[in-house]
């Protein structure tokens, strides 16, 4: 899985969970958990998704940095006589 795909999936998960929790599931979860319980669940899910998004971004940067160093030190893949 490419770093860009990981970040895109994390964004979809983050945005999708916000949309679901703020519209479709809000009323039923609020009734079941109470206002404070809903806020706790919403905050927990948002925090986990944000951490996944940040980790995906860090992974993308680290991977690109390593790739750039490898190319700089050893040339393009398949390049002969560098």
51 belongs to a structural domain: yes
C-alpha dihedral sign at 72, 74, 78, 82? positive
Q: CB under 8 Å to 40, separation ≥6 — which residues? A: 33
81: in domain:
no
Q: Which tens digit of pLDDT belongs to each residue from 51-74?
A: 988 888 888 788 777 777 665 666
User: What distances in angstroms separate CA 69 from CA 50, 59, 66, 76, 77, one per listed residue?
Assistant: 29, 15, 5, 11, 12
Q: Encode pLDDT of 4-40 as tens digits.
A: 888 888 899 999 999 999 998 999 999 999 999 999 9
Q: Quick check: is 82 in a domain?
A: no
Domain count, the chain: 1
Answering whether pTM is above 0.75, one says no
Does residue 80 belong to any structural domain of this protein? Answer: no
For the chain, the 3-state helix, strand and coil shares in percent, each to the nearest 5, are 85, 0, 15
């Amino acid at each position: 899985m490419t770093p860009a795909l990981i970040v895109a999936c994390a964004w979809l998960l983050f945005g999708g969970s916000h949309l679901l929790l703020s519209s479709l599931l809000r009323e039923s979860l609020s009734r079941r958990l109470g206002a404070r319980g809903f806020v706790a669940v919403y905050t927990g899910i948002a925090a986990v998704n944000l951490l996944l998004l940040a980790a995906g971004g860090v992974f993308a940067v680290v991977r690109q940095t390593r790739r750039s160093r490898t190319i700089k030190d050893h040339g393009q893949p398949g390049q002969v006589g560098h």
